[in-house]
């Protein structure tokens, strides 16, 4: 699990799951997913939702709990060259688009928004992926390019940043989780933010986030938490106890969020006010009921984009004990 402030109480032990001796191992999300996909390493783990949908079809014996520790509006992370003629999302038709890998959940959301909100389907772009087969989620799930989609690998020794700066790529979406170095990634959000030859596609990312939320009623869920079926078969109560502990940790974080007013985020007050007015007092909702439409949309996008062959029933993804949340 990553080092989220919403899970800090689980890390320091001030929130404990009843009946469970929890060892919290801090790990960059992309590495956690890779370790689970390759080695099936943990009893409980943070997991990419798109990878989870893919491996469920492959009969991987994991079940999720409706905890969603990371969510955002990932299309607002798209960068283009500073001198690019691309000004609108619709200008991406025909573009060379780089990203860590095609199957990642943030990319599923970004492609879905570009297609359904701005009229640019995945087949209208050429895709370039930075991660190698050995160090990628798709390399562990056997991912292949969907029909009608062009996917190429970034040349060895190159990065998304270097290719964008040189004009060999037209747009880039880096791994969206900043601040933790991962063995899988070479290009980070901060690299693009600080490059004088790159700029955001959406010049006002907060305004676009607010637009997307008001248009659809949800933010984009990126990760969930999975539990090994062997654990749940022996101790079915584990699912709900974990869910309750994650919820308690999140509420503890919310109770301390005013610390941002003392942080180095200078416009912290207006940022918090925009968040409160737009997303309410719980911008990271857990539970199935509060997230059903977002989950239905993600499942539809994953099916539409050729990552899965069937649309999962939402309730079937989650442990039985958590289905009333």
Residue 60 in contact with residue 215, Cβ under 8 Å? no
What is the SS3 assignment for the chain?
Answer: CCCCHHHHHHHHCCCCCCCCCCCCCCCCHHHHHHHHHHHCCCCEEEEEHHHHHHHHHCCCCEEEECCCCCEECHHHHCEEECCCCCCCHHHHCCCEEEECCCCCHHHHHHHHHHHHCCCCCHHHCEEEECCCCCCCHHHHHCCCCCCCCEEEECCCCCCHHHHHHHCCCCEECCECCCCCCCCCCCCEHHHHHCCCCEEECCCCHHHHHHHHHHHHCCCEECEEEEEEHHHHHHCCCHHHHHHHHHHHHHHHHHCCHHHHHHCCCCCHHHHHHHHHHHHCCCCCCCCCHHHHHHHHHHHHHHHHCCCCCCCCCCHHHECHHHCCC
- What pLDDT, on the 0 to 100 scale, is given for residue 39? 98
Report the alpha-carbon distance of residue 214 to residue 153 in Å, rounded.
Answer: 36
User: Which residue, of 151, 180, 215, is where some domain finishes?
Assistant: 215
| C-alpha span between 284 and 265 (Å, rounded) | 20
Residues with pLDDT less than 70, the chain: none
pLDDT of residue 207: 97
The domain of 128 spans 72-215
Instruction: Tell me the C-alpha distance between 131 and 101, whole Å.
Output: 6
Q: Are residues 62 and 169 in the same domain?
A: no
Predicted confidence at residue 178, as pLDDT, reads: 79
> Which residues face 228 on adjacent strands?
62
Same domain, 182 and 121: yes
Split into its structural domains, the chain has a count of 2
User: Could you say which of 183, 215, 247 is where a domain stops?
Assistant: 215
Same domain, 59 and 122: no
Question: Are 100 and 197 found together in one domain?
Answer: yes
**Residues 284-298: pLDDT tens digits?**
999 999 999 999 999
Residues whose CB is less than 8 angstroms from the CB of residue 143 and which lie 6 or more positions away in sequence, other chains included: 54, 101, 102, 103, 137, 307
d(CA 288, CA 59): 22
Residue 108: how many CA atoms within 13 Å on its side-chain side? 30
What tokens does 322 get?
A: 């958590």
Bridge partners of 99, per DSSP, are 129
pLDDT per position as a tens digit, 23-76: 999 999 999 999 999 999 999 999 999 999 999 999 999 999 999 999 999 999
Q: Based on the domain organization, do 53 and 108 belong to the same domain?
A: no
In this structure, the answer to whether residues 129 and 209 fall within a common structural domain is yes
Q: Which residues pair with 175 in a beta bridge?
A: 188
Same domain, 133 and 187: yes
């Amino acid at each position: 699990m990553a080092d989220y402030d919403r899970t800090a109480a689980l890390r320091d032990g001030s929130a404990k799951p009843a009946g469970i001796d929890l060892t919290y191992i801090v790990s960059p999300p992309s590495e956690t997913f890779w370790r689970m996909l390759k080695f099936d390493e943990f009893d409980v783990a943070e997991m990419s939702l798109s990878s989870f949908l893919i491996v469920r079809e492959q009969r991987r014996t994991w079940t999720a709990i409706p905890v969603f520790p990371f969510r955002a509006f990932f299309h607002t992370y798209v960068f283009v060259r500073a001198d690019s003629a691309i000004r609108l999302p619709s200008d991406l038709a025909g573009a060379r688009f780089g990203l860590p890998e095609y199957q990642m959940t943030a990319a599923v959301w970004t492609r879905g928004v570009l297609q359904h909100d701005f009229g640019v389907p995945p087949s209208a772009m050429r895709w370039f992926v930075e991660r190698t087969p050995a160090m990628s989620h798709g390399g562990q799930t056997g991912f292949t390019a969907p029909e009608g989609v062009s996917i190429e690998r970034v040349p060895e020794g190159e990065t998304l940043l270097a290719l964008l700066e040189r004009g060999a790529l037209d747009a880039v979406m880096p791994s969206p989780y900043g601040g933790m170095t991962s063995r899988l990634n070479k290009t980070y959000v901060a690299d693009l933010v600080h490059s004088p030859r790159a700029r955001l596609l959406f010049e006002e990312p907060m305004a676009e986030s607010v637009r997307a939320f008001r248009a659809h009623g949800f933010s984009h869920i990126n990760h969930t938490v999975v539990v090994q079926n062997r654990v749940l078969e022996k101790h079915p109560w584990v699912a709900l106890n974990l869910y309750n502990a994650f919820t308690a940790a999140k509420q503890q974080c919310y109770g301390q969020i005013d610390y941002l007013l003392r942080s180095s985020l200078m416009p912290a007050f207006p940022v918090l006010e925009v968040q409160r007015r737009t997303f309410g007092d719980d911008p990271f909702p857990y539970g199935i009921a509060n997230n059903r439409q977002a989950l239905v949309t993600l499942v539809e996008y994953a099916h539409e984009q050729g990552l899965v062959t069937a649309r999962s029933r939402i309730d079937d993804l989650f442990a039985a004990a958590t289905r009333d949340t």
